[in-house]
Structure 1
Amino acid sequence: MRTEPHWITTPLTADLLRGALDLERTVHGLLPHRLPAGARAQNTDPQLAMAESQPSGVRLAFRSHATAVELDTLPTKRGYTGAPPRPDGVYELLVDGEPAGRTTVTGGHTVTVDMSTGEGELRPGPPGTARFTGLPERAKDIEIWLPHNEITELVALRTDAPVEPLPDRGRKVWLHHGSSISHGSDAAGPTTTWPALASRLAGVELVNLGLGGSALLDPFVARALRDTPADLISVKIGINIVNQDLMRLRAFTPAVHGFLDTVREGHPDVPLLVVSPILCPMHENTPGPTAYDFAALGEGRLGFRATGDPAETANGKLTLAVVREELAGIVERRAADDPHLRYLDGRALYGESDAAELPLPDGLHPDAATHRRMGERFARVAFAPDGPFRRGGR
């Protein structure tokens, strides 16, 4: 006869969480944020507000003899009118660093976005429970990686044995900033976004500031990077600036310098890697803005298209080709006075041969297989004996 575990409820506190820069107390529990309160106060963009509160790379981490774990959460799911339904966010369990289970949480709030207007409609819903059972009966490190693409309020943690915060293993902290591709886009789950996979392969602790649609050289993001303790830093720059048609070349170059200057104020000697965009055929030589492909939507699939005029690059409009050339030049010029600064062409992670084999399904974002390939390549290149993050980078 099956018996229910004797549950122990452990208060959710900051020392049980990794990968978040701030925790907001809500009426339901705790909401992890990936930008600090000061940065959020300066933001006026709903897209960034949503992205930074989706806990990509955020995980509960504790040590316990527990064989059963329950985590009550209140997710906020999102969908788009006219687009295929999005799958529920995935919670993934690691035991001593190895995959040991995955699940989803039903219920929660739902926000439906009208793609023609950008307006969202909220439908409230109840909390649900992520449940993991059958864990080995021994002391072990337990991590629960939260959905990378679903706002997740933490309500309660229950286990059938006491828990304690995961001890410091002395691993290097890798702080990464990028776009929706770094955020996780269409990865299979939170541990296989390309930064999460690369961090696990390299044995480093990830703080992921990949912010969907929002890698825009915002000064408050640079200050968040500046003020966050880290042993290794990478910034992936370009695709959002092109697809939002945010700035011209005249503004882009000093904005990159200013962003890097700010990061260096807090991390003068930390290995700093500037990564240019991966291959995105529609924007290689065609500027933004990017728009929804309504013909694709009519076929029941999500797609994007570039709407700029290639001739406008003569007037300073940005394409990915222009961005890569400029980033390489910026790093080359700065490296004379900054020996810890390096550049990586994003096409080393996903280039022309990859696009032929694994085309971007919506024209903009990599799929799960591509995330895995990018993560494996980044770990191999960045953490190579002669790489920018070699043996911890210093």
Structure 2
Amino acid sequence: MHSVYEWITTPITAGLLRGALDLERTARGVLPHRLPARARAQCDDGTLTMSEAQPSGVRLVFRTRATAIELDTVPTKRVYTGAPPRPDGVYDLRVDGRPAGQGSVSGGNTVTIDLATWAAEHREGPVGTLRFEGLRDGVKDVEIWLPHNEITELVALRTDAPVEPAAASGRRVWLHHGSSISQGSDAASPTTTWPALAAAHGGVELVNLGFGGGALLDPFTARALRDTPADLISVKIGINVVGTDLMRLRAFGPAVHGFLDTVREGHPTTPLLVVSPVLCPMHEDTPGPSAFDPGALAEGRLNFRAAGSPDEVASGKLTLRTVRDTLSRIVAQRAADDPYLHHLDGRELYGEADTAALPLPDGLHPDAATHRLIGERFAALVFGAGGGDSGRGGAFAERGGAGTVSRAWPGP
């Protein structure tokens, strides 16, 4: 540690964190979680265990005069055998709401995953340090957005001036649930995932429950949504159900109804938006499961393919077209008794006309430019926001017609 600063160490508590539903104390520090402990105890799936602990949308928020900040963390790096190396997770610094720096932390733990068997080997590593310095003097609001794709154990926060929790923003809370695309897979940084961009454009406070591989209509996730305070809730459903080949059409419809019923137990009049999948050409008419393309792996690339057959649709296997049709029908049915329920066709966020200029690089996930496109379109359609990071959110865009957001979200 450099000696030019007189460091003040501030305990990292829930009062300094936004976007996390739980904070687990560990041997070295604290670990933010995006699902509560009771939910985590009800599922031993390794993919969900990893993704819910990757702090997408979670940020340290505080007020200080500090010109230098150090954050000690223990990141968990993922290594996939036979796949290209993954870049280190990115931390985004924002000061008074504006971008002010980025950094990464080396070292940390490593989990090596065998793509053939999904066996995982864990290796513990050292604490690393993130540093930002040269910040302007004077009182300011500081946000450090944690990596959206890297488990991050928080060990110590040091500054060269005292820290206090930032005042409540006064913004309305947007609670969102979705898949790896919502978590931010292949986005450039935590503030440039599409939900983070949409929240910034719409002037709302984001709680992101997007889980890579984990948007599977799980009852414990519905209960987490039910029990989390929010002014707007959105659930993006479909791609994981198809990609995991988890259920057939007979189970899917009732599972959606049950999921929405549970959310409504805690939020009977909160605007609730059901979003169907964005376009994914390989699964539009071909069921899952999604599988790694062995030819691409042999070339050192990570690519996905649909391992099902269109012939299986007749027996009830799901495609994205089937999912969209089912979701549209369910929302239309329920909206007769629920004036706060809305539907958005995901192809309005990324559709057929976008694929030529912005193809999905691995066949499944959008790149950084497409995250920006989706975020801007969502903000315009849902928040009535025309873009920009400084404005307060508007309303649900009041639009009519099947498959669109059709009722206003009351303004501030």
User: TM exceeds 0.5?
Assistant: yes
1:362-373 equivalences in 2 (<5 Å): 362-373=362-373
Deviation track 1:13-69 (CA, whole Å, cap 9, x = no partner) reads: 110000000000000100000000000010120110001000000000001111111
After superposition, give the CA deviation of every residue in 1:209-248 in whole Å (9 maximum; x if it has no partner). 0000010000000000000010110000000000100001
Q: Is contact 1:382-1:390 (8 Å) kept? A: no
The secondary structure found in structure 2 opposite 1:197 is: helix
Question: Residue 393 of structure 1: CA displacement?
Answer: 5.9
- Deviation, 1:392, is 5.7
Identify which range, 384-393 or 298-307, moves more after superposition: 384-393
* CA apart distance, 1:141: 0.7
Task: Report the CA distance shift for 1:238/1:391 in structure 2 as closer, same or farther (over 3 A).
Answer: closer
- Show the counterpart of 1:115: 115
1:331 counterpart = 2:328: no
Shift of 1:123: 2.0
Taking the TM superposition and a 5 Å limit, the aligned residue runs for 1:117-156 are 117-156=117-156
Once the 2 structures are TM-superposed, how far is the Cα of residue 79 of structure 1 from its aligned partner?
1.3
Q: Give the aligned residue type for 1:308.
A: G
Q: Amino acid of the residue matched to residue 264 of structure 1?
A: R
Q: Which residue of 2 aligns with 1:238?
A: 238
Whichever residue aligns with residue 265 of structure 2, its letter is E
| Structure-2-length-normalised TM-score | 0.94
What does 1:267-282 align with in structure 2 at a 5 Å threshold? 267-282=267-282
Secondary structure of the residue aligned to 1:23 is: strand
Contact 1:23–1:31, Cα closer than 8 Å, also in 2: yes
- Letter aligned with residue 274 of structure 2: V
Closer, same or farther: CA 390–7 of 1 in aligned 2, 3 Å: farther
- 2:82 equivalent in structure 1: 82
1:101 corresponds to 2:101: yes
State the 1:309 CA deviation. Answer: 1.1
| Counterpart position of 1:43 | 43
Task: Render the CA deviation track for 1:131-188: whole Å, top value 9, x for unaligned.
Answer: 1111111111100000000000000000011111010121100000000000010000
Q: Give the structure 2 partner of residue 214 of structure 1.
A: 214
Stretch deviating more after TM superposition (232-241 or 304-313)? 304-313
Q: Provide closer, same or farther for how the CA distance between residues 341 and 91 of structure 1 changes in structure 2, counting only shifts above 3 A.
A: same
* Structure 1 residue 3: Cα displacement: 6.8
Cα gap change, 1:42/1:3 in structure 2, threshold over 3 Å: closer, same or farther?
A: closer
Aligned partner of 2:4: which letter? E
| CA distance, structure 2, for counterparts of residue 140 and residue 391 of structure 1 | 32
CA RMSD of aligned residues (A): 1.3
Q: Is the 8 A contact 1:287 1:313 kept in 2?
A: yes
Question: Closer, same or farther in 2 for the Cα pair 1:320/1:147, shift >3 Å?
Answer: same
Give 1:359's aligned residue: 359
- Provide Cα deviations, 1:94-151, integer angstroms capped at 9, x if missing partner: 0011100000001001111000000111122101011111111111110000000000
Q: Is the 8 A contact 1:232 1:393 kept in 2?
A: no
Could you tell me which runs of 5 or more consecutive residues in structure 1 were left unpaired when the two chains were aligned.
none
| Amino acid paired to 1:220 | F
Q: Is the 8 A contact 1:77 1:111 kept in 2?
A: yes
The residue aligned with 1:257 is 257
Distance of 2:187 and 2:60 partners within structure 1: 20
- TM-score scaled by length of structure 1: 0.98
CA offset at residue 197 of structure 1?
0.8
Taking the aligned partners of 1:261 and 1:342, their CA distance within structure 2 comes to 14
Question: Residue 297 of structure 1 aligns to which amino acid in structure 2?
Answer: L
Give the whole-Å Cα distance in 2 for the aligned partners of 1:386 and 1:278.
19
Identity of aligned residues (%): 72
1:64 is aligned to 64
**Map of 1:6-45 to 2, 5 A cutoff?**
6-45=6-45
* Contact 2:271–2:409 (Cα < 8 Å) also in 1: no
Please tell me whether the aligned partners of residues 396 and 409 of structure 2 are also in contact (alpha carbons under 8 angstroms).
Answer: no
d(CA) in 1 for partners of 2:344, 2:122 = 41
Q: CA-to-partner distance for each residue in 1:238-292, whole Å, 9 max, x for gaps?
A: 0000010000111000000000000000000000000000000000000001110
Equivalent residues of 1:248, 1:317 under 8 A apart? yes
Q: Which residue in 1 is equivalent to 2:400?
A: none
- Displacement of 1:390: 5.4
> Do 1:271 and 1:393's aligned partners in 2 also have CA atoms closer than 8 Å?
no
Deviation of the 1:359 alpha carbon = 0.5
- Residue 325 of structure 2 aligns with an amino acid whose one-letter code is E
Partner residue, 1:182: 182
